[in-house]
Structure 1
């Protein structure tokens, strides 16, 4: 049985206590608990428009792996609302899958539990070497200076998707490059009876991604250099307020979106209800919901002024999915073979095309599919204007506590309660008090 540092146990307990949904534990048996070298259990994250879409994408590839190796992979696609809780429960109970997808932002937190196989040089050699992966993706695989806790699987970046017809009807000739321009364009769009910008106010992960970017644009960090939570500094408060004010003050996010959860804002955009959407690599999701590529444009996420770049011009987190192996798998050899298969050049091309994401494997990026205009925006963002979320042990708790604070602030805005600098700071202070003490 693996050892788990006491501090990490406290962090996991805190995160479980704060998580929004009590989704129960991991699978009742480990994927290799029968000691069979011919089976694996794989938890995949919900990347497509639905769990059924993911099964249709993944099952043919798993069948291909079984044909090549004789190893059957038992697939479970886990909703994002449940995934972190499921993983954390598995790290403490020892009952989980052999291989699993993790949000790359959780890498450092899950690394701290000691539950995942570290990707040292020897393990990287088993899948073709660390140099196959691009640097931006490797930057979100765990604490700098330590062996990664997982390997990159899909790379994504946020972009601004806009409905060409709605823009034309409102006389808006180009996508907004700054937030002031977005608000101004929004007034023109509203005059034509359309909603402006979709958001998911009850989606904790989405909240974190956006306020992190606003934080960078305000020159602020949520943690001190030594890893202590610092949620109430002026820059963070201003960043969170500016994001929530898109609903509370600027009125460009509909109040009903305060209750929106996973994929609801994408659905509205696909149906032509909203003019704009901030989303990670959305093309495949939109296509599955009936929206053709010629109906929308894609542009960088707005910044405060000028064009996206480094420093305060950051306009996306380094989004993506990593692939991890549990230390207590009973089929380590099979798990390594599966990771090698999923990160092979051919599979990287297939899977990232299906999900409209960017391969974190450099050789796979040469495929023409990843040089199309839409993907060019995403690749440029990842290369020039994206930043990794804090790679600290308490990162998952940060997502839960601050993401919930933003959710509550959106609820205040939707209910007509004032969202002020003081009220934002009070929510963030409450979030900080819920973080593990050092």
Structure 2
């Protein structure tokens, strides 16, 4: 079997430096999983979309069985935690060990595209799954670098929202969610105390750190990359953005110090258990329900903006364009079966089933007409995606950016939790170090 060439780009070479030893295992099957001796089998790495891995197995299992019954192709499923997923993918692109089909965060599209390891979605391949025009164009725009065939196909679309516990708000005498960051601090102080906290965060979740910092940087009128695609991590606006986020713990003291060590989904558990009153998250309704909350227990509102901000402008940006894409490794031995699987997963029927289960928005236009996507939660997400969300930079270094700057934010949260000062100078130093790591 052909193997993907290692270090297909500078981005891949540098990104591999961040892969942990545990992530380097990559799996035991060659890329393509279904070899010449097993053409009726595919391997699929799904990202952890539900509250835990078992929930994803339960959601996807019946659908994959349905696909097998229709096509005769068995799908070997592995649900990969977000903390491991990027490292596993990078290791697979270098070693040739991995799945046929896999989920990728849409922010990684250009980075993984630059490795040359993913099957490009040209006009012919889109035609095989019903055509490119079936998909929302903004979702396609987050599937690879501009001017190139997309490296993946949109599967789930999401945006960030502010979720708040209605009971905790009533008990504190607060009539509605904060719309600005000044209101967040004021409201947060009223909600914090007696072992409860206003806002949940996940300081050890690198991807979430990046998403929050990116949005705040936009609100400060800047980005982490300049117009030429060069890193600008320690620019004044970026420094202000990261400091503002960490100051929710360090200065405003509305985030529990223990959140500095929180990883994927831990903030959702605290919210569902009444330990925190608010959380900034993507499409969280299904997770809340899995933890025992009922419809009506929580409210949903747009993420706060600076006072005077207008949605659709830089100051009014309140989410990154979030989502999950479905990709195929270029050297799979079962291209036809992989394309058939992508066609199944992006069919109108499956888009309704899967996006309902995960509380996300279908990137397939026809599926959005289902009444299930007209409720309060998804209406806020759809409006945000359409009016005030911005895509993370589609640059080859994006995955390195998530690792380097996400780690810098993690370290700053650790400082805040330990009572060490978080100053403009300390934030700038951490971000300058992250930028140096990119350059090296």
TM-score by length of 2: 0.97
1:2·1:114 contact (CA, 8 Å) conserved in 2? no
1:35·1:331 contact (CA, 8 Å) conserved in 2? no
Which of 53, 60, 74 is equivalent to 2:62?
Answer: 60
2:4·2:95 contact (CA, 8 Å) conserved in 1? no
Gaps of 5+ in 1: none
- Structure 2 CA distance, aligned partners of 1:193 and 1:423? 29
2:7·2:94 contact (CA, 8 Å) conserved in 1? no
**1:239 maps onto 2:244 in alignment:** no
* TM-fit CA distance, 1:262: 0.8
C-alpha deviations, 1:402-422, integer Å up to 9, x for none? 000000000000011100011
1:7-406 matches, within 5 Å, as: 8=9, 10-19=10-19, 22-30=22-30, 31-190=33-192, 194-306=196-308, 307-406=310-409
2:206·2:403 contact (CA, 8 Å) conserved in 1? yes
- Structure 2 CA distance, aligned partners of 1:368 and 1:25? 43
- Structure 2 CA distance, aligned partners of 1:55 and 1:266? 20
User: What SS does structure 1 have at the residue aligned with 2:324?
Assistant: strand
User: What SS does structure 1 have at the residue aligned with 2:233?
Assistant: coil
- Structure 1 CA distance, aligned partners of 2:99 and 2:146? 26
- Structure 1 CA distance, aligned partners of 2:332 and 2:61? 21
1:99·1:325 contact (CA, 8 Å) conserved in 2? yes
**1:415 maps onto 2:418 in alignment:** yes
* TM-fit CA distance, 1:35: 4.0
C-alpha deviations, 1:375-398, integer Å up to 9, x for none? 100000000010110100000000
1:217·1:313 contact (CA, 8 Å) conserved in 2? yes
* TM-fit CA distance, 1:139: 1.5
| Mean CA deviation greater in 427-436 or 192-201 | 192-201
- Structure 2 CA distance, aligned partners of 1:228 and 1:77? 34
CA distance 1:310–1:20, change in 2 (3 Å): farther
Between Structure 1 and Structure 2, how many residues are aligned?
436
* TM-fit CA distance, 1:62: 0.3
C-alpha deviations, 1:207-259, integer Å up to 9, x for none? 00100000110011111112111101100000000000000101011111001
Partner of 1:425: 428
- Structure 2 CA distance, aligned partners of 1:348 and 1:383? 19
- Structure 2 CA distance, aligned partners of 1:289 and 1:151? 31
CA distance 1:238–1:19, change in 2 (3 Å): farther
TM-score by length of 1: 0.97
* TM-fit CA distance, 1:121: 0.4
RMSD over aligned Cα atoms: 1.4
- Structure 2 CA distance, aligned partners of 1:122 and 1:310? 36
2:284·2:359 contact (CA, 8 Å) conserved in 1? yes
* TM-fit CA distance, 1:312: 1.8
* TM-fit CA distance, 1:36: 2.4
- Structure 2 CA distance, aligned partners of 1:255 and 1:293? 29
- Structure 1 CA distance, aligned partners of 2:231 and 2:36? 43
- Structure 2 CA distance, aligned partners of 1:419 and 1:216? 21
C-alpha deviations, 1:40-85, integer Å up to 9, x for none? 0000000000100000000100000001100000000001111001
User: What SS does structure 2 have at the residue aligned with 1:435?
Assistant: helix
* TM-fit CA distance, 1:374: 1.1
Runs of 4+ in 1 over 3 A off after TM superposition: 1-7, 19-22
CA distance 1:6–1:358, change in 2 (3 Å): same
* TM-fit CA distance, 1:12: 2.0
User: What SS does structure 2 have at the residue aligned with 1:196?
Assistant: strand
C-alpha deviations, 1:292-315, integer Å up to 9, x for none? 121110000000124533322100
1:200·1:257 contact (CA, 8 Å) conserved in 2? yes
